[in-house]
Structure 1
């Protein structure tokens, strides 16, 4: 019997052997393929470091997901479907649309039980991570996406608070001739997606507008969801080199059911069941979000360019939790229903200029950034009399505000044709303020404020060691403040926010090699280490509350390797391998059972940071025929993970495989394709994600067994 009680699965070591075997098979034919008349492919250009550069020359780990990987034969409703090819990034579909997906980069971000922390998120430059470091990807519209860029390592710090890594989604520009697209996709567990998009370009104007509607009955009980997403982008060019980009995004996800995590015994007995509290209190979440943005780019007389991005939006969240009635008898309880109205806005202004230094080209970027979010937070009891799962009496009312005001500068200098040096610094100030409007004799005024500052320098160098190979090194400082949710309760049991929490501060470095050949062969190897002080983790859990603490020092050391190998005009292989050893370097006290009002159980120095697999691997083999047929097989292996600070339980390693295929056609004025995909081919039982340090030991979130998806995509052109 395994740690979760499930049947024994293939280990990550066996998965790595499979992946290495596939890589060897892919590389052996490479010389023969090179003897053919090669097709010269466009070199990958990235803007993850704010200036467009050839990806191989950037002294940082940057991965781009586009083309066939972005348009893979899948449901197209989850970001995690698209990111398996990125090394160092662990993206997990929780099969729980009420709690968003799990994203972590090099071991940063795993402590999040809902939402995304430790990773900065952007859509067309607009932050999807709020100033306190809390982010979400539920409004990411994949139907209109052009590419996704993932930045890892030291240069992530140039994006400010909570930059363990940076993930950016970019909407495609409109193209001429104009076209109308339709996609209908369905699959197991009542999953259905319908998407329509319109795009076009004329003279100095182009547009791309897409609408998607997704519905699922859910793999697990009590996990029904529906989501409607709108995303639009329009570009207007004026003058000789000026342009204005207008952005619109909206999300409506009402009454999404939350099945909650499962204990080990529940997972073994029936991985599709929902938690008892989920059924009793009808746990659910409704989200509505609307945002607008604009980007102005304008050349200046000194040869520089001014770029100004401004955005604003509003997010409304209503969530029904399973907090027991007895817990809410505490006069300090905030109840079991959250009503959160959160308007947000921001601006990013930067000046860039290309000049020369010692007669060699240099590019400067100087900018400032201001982001603000207000939270009108209300808490209610989740019962009325004997009726559970309904909004009851008011128990919490507070108005919160968090702002981030940052200034940054960076420069890229090429002292020789083969060399590229990049340096930058960011000064950040993140301010939290809470005003309590629910004050009684037993619940005092909890108002307060705190301000954190940090200076984050980074430096990197890249050198071309061979015509298609670059070596690079980078080093930098970063920081991560606690979010408002982590500040929510004090570990001493008193009222008010836990303003004694300090930001986690990290020093990280990496060394790497990049291969980028004209025939499309690309590979990247990176070795990294990140040392953190004041690591944030759970302190106590009682009465439906989790409090957080600074746990001293932590270290994450690892390696990443990825390869994209064109074997022939019809065959292509991809591989991504990751190794991460993430550990606490100092011991601390935590709670091993609930209720626990005082941390009293030692976590020894050297304990593994929960939620971080030591090794993971992904491999895919893609075939495209000459008459429109295409097929793909892939496999993913993820190592075992501890689920809490004590390491007394873990989710097992797993290896799963998938396959898909389809047929595409093109006529004079229309095109389309049909496809069929099968996931988890061998019907393995495993926990696809875990809720780290869940206070009731409901750590496990089940992944689906064998499942099928089929779809049709059509496009009509003018």
Structure 2
């Protein structure tokens, strides 16, 4: 069956959302002015004052309304309300420019990209920096993961996009910062149970509160199990997250965090287009034969000391340590592994990582008011990686002989400085400069006849400047323009092989990018229409884009593909309509293309893994004090699967319905329950693509119509 061109008829909600966004400014001018929060909340419209939303991941905790960069803040309650709280993709569709695709494969991480950066990653997260309570979930080589994020204890998620992200170093597209709630009040205990389609089960327990001395604590644990939507896709994941906030003298505080993650998952792998069309729930033909699967475990500890030097200066010092281990069985055939230089079909990896961050912030009354910050980021990762044959005799899916043994070290040193100049009451200038240096070293301990020494080292460095100019049209409206340089190094995995010979692929260069954006943000403060909406135009020119070169027999090499361009438009709205309605809308148009052939004939082709159009429209109606009903529509145009653009996943639109109940059923008891149906109309579509898969198994099926339901009970001491 030929792939059908995407029809815009499923995207009718986009047209409505765009028309609404265009009318917001005029509507706000005619509505009576009433103080409001920049974000849509459930607070009644009559409330006189509401808090200002700050962006913690911007040094100096900038006001979101005046921040000279594209940013969204998603409250933890939005991630938790009427959701199973398993995947971040459940509730981040309302963030423009951010794509979070659920692979329905817990042996791989979510497919995450920001403004087109990160889409090429076939595992983990690339091109986007991740932080959890200030601790990087991204290694110094730019490879990260979201598996250790505990949704049930999140207070908020902050998403920064565009040039501003260059201030965080080795990432080109953006920054996602996850923050655990700061506990307050007496002890509170919560327990919950959720169930859903395909044997999904989630059990959770959380304790939070403050001691008489003001020390805050939160401890959250959960277990998730599923039989899997597809064959050979069962999973079992366990999470434990802890946070301790210790107040000190003079307003100082010490924050301690700990996290433990453990999971086992079968890997159904991708499907060819013919396989997906025949049966989207099947696994690949070799998944059972080789029993493809992955087990991982991670523990990490971190501490942050916030010190107030005086009324104008503060200091923050963070340090962390973590250990991550992974065992993965792949479906590489026996024949290629017989080659002396092959690394085998079983990956056994143990990784220790640590780092520190020092940030000083000062405010000065000079000719123009100045906020100055300076700091240093240090990261180090040591990885012991072994490879084994995935067979013993004629038995497959078991650990065989050793075929790879190496130690990889990656470290980064990043000093930075940032200044905010209040040029005039309505004008501000933000400037920043970061020098990022990343060092790679690999020591090969498996040297045999036909398999030479693959040891090697490489260094990459880049000076990353950023400048943003903003102007307040009114107390409720801000326009801004920003420009910056970013870069993205190859990961240690991408550097592991050459097409011929031994040693690290030191010919692989980092991707450099120059980005600019123009943005507008408005706070709406009427009685009937309240909230925040924004629009942004952006463009990014990159050189030395990293793409797959050759992929055969389980061995993939990479090369630089020359120049690319990403440009687009983002629209976003978070609104309260009257007292009982909330609306979330987002639309992203992204044109991402190769601009040079680099000898491969791909100039003018779309970058794979990216949709030109993404849209979300969600509405909640609080029709009674304890009851909420919601609807969400997610739509996407088609997605190319390879650099040559010869195969693509068709576009789609899906609808979800949900019902929630929350009430105090006794003086100290609160009951919350939900029920939801996703993909109400049982749309058969592809949820994500495996970019440039060597076996042309590009496609990972999304779930058909599915349901989930749960109950949560809280006792307040």
| TM-score, normalised relative to structure 1 | 0.95
Q: What is the match of residue 262 of structure 2?
A: 252
1:534-592 CA distances to partner (integer Å, 9 max, x unpaired)?
11111111221111111111000001000112111101111100001000110134xxx
Alignment of 1:44-59 (within 5 A): 44-59=53-68
SS in 1 for 2:65: helix
Q: What is the match of residue 649 of structure 2?
A: 651
- The answer to whether residue 211 in structure 2 is matched with residue 213 in structure 1 is no
Higher mean C-alpha deviation, range 45-54 or range 528-537: 45-54
Q: What is the match of residue 495 of structure 1?
A: 502
SS in 2 for 1:625: strand
1:177-202 CA distances to partner (integer Å, 9 max, x unpaired)?
22001111110011111111100113
Q: In 1, are the aligned partners of 2:301 and 2:320 still within 8 Å (CA)? A: yes
Change (3 A) 1:12 1:417: farther
Give the superposed CA RMSD. Answer: 1.9
Stretches of structure 2 lacking an aligned partner (at least 5 in a row):
35-44
- For 1:451 and 1:646, the matched residues in 2 are separated by 31
- For 1:10 and 1:347, the matched residues in 2 are separated by 48
Q: What is the match of residue 434 of structure 2?
A: 426
**Displacement after TM superposition at 1:53 (Å):** 1.6
Alignment partner of 1:224 out of 204, 227, 234: 234
- For 1:419 and 1:48, the matched residues in 2 are separated by 22
Q: What is the match of residue 552 of structure 2?
A: 542
Q: What is the match of residue 689 of structure 1?
A: 688
Q: In 1, are the aligned partners of 2:28 and 2:524 still within 8 Å (CA)? A: no
**Displacement after TM superposition at 1:401 (Å):** 0.2
- For 1:474 and 1:32, the matched residues in 2 are separated by 31
- For 1:43 and 1:73, the matched residues in 2 are separated by 26
- The answer to whether residue 479 in structure 2 is matched with residue 481 in structure 1 is no
Change (3 A) 1:124 1:35: closer
Q: In 2, are the aligned partners of 1:354 and 1:361 still within 8 Å (CA)? A: yes
Alignment partner of 2:661 out of 660, 663, 683: 663
1:457-492 CA distances to partner (integer Å, 9 max, x unpaired)?
00101110123100001000010000011112112x
Q: In 1, are the aligned partners of 2:54 and 2:64 still within 8 Å (CA)? A: yes
- For 1:622 and 1:31, the matched residues in 2 are separated by 25
Change (3 A) 1:18 1:524: closer
Q: In 1, are the aligned partners of 2:172 and 2:513 still within 8 Å (CA)? A: no
1:91-148 CA distances to partner (integer Å, 9 max, x unpaired)?
1110000011011000000100011100100100100000001000001000100000
- For 2:455 and 2:494, the matched residues in 1 are separated by 16
Alignment of 1:349-364 (within 5 A): 349-358=358-367, 360-364=368-372
**Displacement after TM superposition at 1:439 (Å):** 0.7
Q: In 1, are the aligned partners of 2:18 and 2:587 still within 8 Å (CA)? A: no
- For 2:680 and 2:26, the matched residues in 1 are separated by 28
Q: What is the match of residue 394 of structure 1?
A: 402
Q: In 2, are the aligned partners of 1:243 and 1:298 still within 8 Å (CA)? A: yes
1:240-262 CA distances to partner (integer Å, 9 max, x unpaired)?
121100000010103x1000000
- For 1:196 and 1:648, the matched residues in 2 are separated by 48
Alignment partner of 2:140 out of 131, 135, 140: 131
Alignment partner of 2:585 out of 565, 570, 575: 575
Alignment of 1:483-632 (within 5 A): 483-491=491-499, 493-518=500-525, 520-589=530-599, 602-632=600-630
**Displacement after TM superposition at 1:49 (Å):** 1.6
Q: What is the match of residue 40 of structure 2?
A: none
- For 2:345 and 2:569, the matched residues in 1 are separated by 43
Change (3 A) 1:623 1:525: same
**Displacement after TM superposition at 1:411 (Å):** 1.0
Alignment partner of 1:86 out of 95, 100, 103: 95
- For 2:29 and 2:539, the matched residues in 1 are separated by 35
Change (3 A) 1:411 1:174: same
Q: In 1, are the aligned partners of 2:534 and 2:573 still within 8 Å (CA)? A: yes
**Displacement after TM superposition at 1:48 (Å):** 2.4
Q: What is the match of residue 253 of structure 2?
A: 243
**Displacement after TM superposition at 1:428 (Å):** 0.9
SS in 2 for 1:132: coil
Q: What is the match of residue 441 of structure 1?
A: 449
- The answer to whether residue 336 in structure 2 is matched with residue 327 in structure 1 is yes
- For 2:169 and 2:642, the matched residues in 1 are separated by 28
- For 2:90 and 2:370, the matched residues in 1 are separated by 39
1:39-89 CA distances to partner (integer Å, 9 max, x unpaired)?
343232112222212101110001011154222311110011121010000
Alignment partner of 1:150 out of 143, 159, 179: 159
Q: What is the match of residue 194 of structure 1?
A: 203
1:166-186 CA distances to partner (integer Å, 9 max, x unpaired)?
001000011102200111111
SS in 2 for 1:606: coil
Q: In 1, are the aligned partners of 2:80 and 2:151 still within 8 Å (CA)? A: no
**How many corresponding residue pairs?**
701
